[in-house]
Amino acid sequence: MLWTAILLSSLTFVLGQTEEFQEKLSIKSLRDGRVASSFSFSILLRDASPRDPRFLAFDDDDSHHYTLFPLTLGQILRQYAVTELHLTLNAGKWNYDAWGYPDESGVGVGAELRAWMAEGGPSSIDDRWRGLRNALAGLFCASLGSLDEQRTTSPALSFPPDGYLPDWGLPHELRHASYASEHVCTENLTPFLKLLPCKSLSGLATLLNPHRLFDADWHGIGLHVLWHPEGVEVRLNVQLVSDPIRISSSRKQDWSFKTLFDRKVQKPCPVAKSSLVVVNLPSSGIYRVDPEPSFIKDGKAYYDLTNSPGSWNIKTVWPGDFEYPFSDSTPLVPFSVRRKLLSSAQDTGKLSIVVTNNQEEQLDLLYLETMPWIIQFYLHTARVYSDENLISNISYTLPVPHARPGTFESVLTLPGRSTLTFAMDVQKAFLRYTEHPPDAQRGWDLPPAVFTPLAHNGSTKQMRQFYTPSLLVDLATPDFSMPYNVIMFTCSVVAFIFGSVFNVLTRKFVIVRLEANGQK
């Protein structure tokens, strides 16, 4: 019975699948004169489902017949039976206060990878997680191999699945890892573009000019795979925040495809079901949008580029120079976070989090710290500087030195318009000589903390994660250079002199003549 079901499902997978490709670009002028662009390419594999890990034992997976769906990615997903996957590679610090929430919430600096996988079958989740990491590292030319056991965590609440988890009767588990030192660059973008049906030859992907993308103040690429009853969806997205004032060297915030990307959309991607450009219109002021949009709805101008020939250079023009907002403007997000590792000592420090609720309503935040073992929390020193006890549901997974990171998850409650300071002493590990990286004196990047606002019923579903900037920590580092040798040498000399002087002071040398006993 089961066998027929599998056969049937794989048959439908091969024959009955329909694939859809949609692309969308939304552009928004930000309060500080910058322009946020967000590309989203989504490929839907209709009626497909993720692979059940129990079938990994049978080498009968013949569903690698795709037309639009990227084959290399599909192979990886099926090889390691991944239900849901999120990979982001970002550079820069997302300024929530001035830029608001991003279209795609994964804006943590560096590389972040998380996957939901079902337990069961011949290979364990951790084996498949290792394989997945390495496969993606190869696919994207990124240092995802560094996301090893020393960085992998499984937070319980902060990252619920975006899609659905199939009801196979198997427990699903999350694996999450982030690596703040990863730098995103052209070598990551090229394989990324290869996953698109039209590459960067036509359609909106034409605009992804590496010279401009990687000069943007903030830029990131993301890959999201999720399953919902319609099928398996792959979403590839690129976000960037450019500064037209810096690029143009005039004081104007005007932007166009030409100034932002140094390219225009010359021809449409023929296989795209829809190709849409959405421009968020400024709420006030005089400006001109060019060309005339297809339609305007809710303060957004929509351009339908689907199968439309001709070159597109959408632009917005302001008559006057841009003036920076003079007074302190209110943040665009419901809460603001400042996170800092205080003290300049090399053995201890203090992790300090200041959260401000910008709203009138009470706010419940899920706070997640995933710390490499080089930083160990002293939980008993955790203090919340506020009138009430506003921290609850603490769960803490202890780090294991040289093996496992620590995971700290808790719920912070902020009354309306309040500021909460959370501080905790930390201990900095003393590393083994060989554990230091080649640039030992730089310090270690610590992953960002993640805040997730909880809905009033306490669920995290449909809530967007909020990433703090990463941190740099100085550990006690031996000076791997000449003075180090000098210090060692000097110490030896001092020890030698001390020994001699001590001998002289405490011992007395006399000549003892031993009578030759019986001999001669």
Partner 1 sequence: MDAQRPRWQPLQRIRRLLQRNADPNLARIKRRKALYALIGRRIAVLRLSLFFAGYIWMLAIPSSQLDRGVYFDENAMQPAQVNTYWSWKEVHDADRFLDQLELLRDSNATSEQRSQFIANEFRKIGLAASTQSYEFTGVNKGINGSNAYAILSSPRISGVEAMVISASWISRTNEGDGTLNLRGVATVLALSKFLKQYSLWAKDLVFIISDGYMDGMQAFLSAYHGQTQSNLRAQALELTSGVIWTALNIDYPGHSLSHLGIFHEGPNGRLPNQDLLNSFQHIARRTGVPVVLYDHRDDLEYLHWLPENIRNHREIRTYFTQARNLWRHIGYQASGRGSGVHGLFHQYRIDAFTMFALPAAGPHGFHSLGRIIESTLRTTNNLLERLHASFFFYILTNSDRFVKIGNYLPSAILISVAMMFGGLQVWVEAAWAKGPQEEAKTPGAAPMTWVKRRRPILEVLFIMVFTHLFGAMVFFIMSSETYSYFQLAPFLLFLAAYALPLTIPAITPQKRSEAIAPLSLVLKAFNLCLSSTVISIITVLNFSLAACLAVALGIPLSTASSSSTKAVQMVKYSTYVVLGLGWILLRGFAERMIWNWDVLSAWLLPFLCIVYFPLTLQVALVCII
- List contacts with partner 1 (CB under 8 A): 32-33, 91-93, 95, 109-110, 180, 214-219, 243, 245-246, 249, 323-328, 338, 340, 342-344, 350, 352, 354, 439-443, 445, 469-472, 474, 479, 481, 483, 504-505, 509, 511
Residue 441: CB minimum distance to partner 1, A:
4
- Nearer to partner 1 among residue 308 and residue 503 (C-beta): 503
Residue 220: CB minimum distance to partner 1, A:
11
Judged by DSSP in three states, 24 sits in strand
Could you identify the residue written with the tokens 């960085």?
Answer: 151
Q: Which residues pair with 425 in a beta bridge?
A: 350
Residue 313: how many other CB atoms lie within 10 Å: 15
Residue 51: CB minimum distance to partner 1, A:
36
Q: What is the DSSP letter of 434?
A: G
C-alpha span between 42 and 282 (Å, rounded) = 27
- Nearer to partner 1 among residue 20 and residue 182 (C-beta): 182
Residue 268: how many other CB atoms lie within 10 Å: 21
- Nearer to partner 1 among residue 145 and residue 325 (C-beta): 325
Give helix 125-140 / helix 186-194 axis angle, nearest 10°: 100
**DSSP line for 222-237:** EEEEEEETTEEEEEEE
Residue 38: CB minimum distance to partner 1, A:
17
* Pure H helices in 113-265: 125-140, 186-194, 210-213, 244-248, 257-261
Residue 511: CB minimum distance to partner 1, A:
6
- Nearer to partner 1 among residue 161 and residue 469 (C-beta): 469
C-alpha span between 302 and 308 (Å, rounded) = 14
What is the side-by-side order of every strand in the sheet holding 295-297? Answer: 152-153, 172-179, 110-118, 82-91, 218-228, 231-242, 35-46, 19-29, 274-280, 300-304, 295-297
Burial letters for 37-65: b for 16+ Cβ neighbours within 10 Å, e otherwise? bbbbbbbbbeebbbbbbbbbeeeeeebee
Residue 140: CB minimum distance to partner 1, A:
19
- Nearer to partner 1 among residue 87 and residue 245 (C-beta): 245
- Nearer to partner 1 among residue 432 and residue 508 (C-beta): 508
Residue 8: CB minimum distance to partner 1, A:
50
C-alpha span between 130 and 405 (Å, rounded) = 16
- Nearer to partner 1 among residue 229 and residue 483 (C-beta): 483
Residue 219: CB minimum distance to partner 1, A:
7
- Nearer to partner 1 among residue 181 and residue 202 (C-beta): 181
Q: Distance of CA 343 to CAs 287, 413, 425, 430, 463, Å?
A: 48, 27, 10, 17, 34
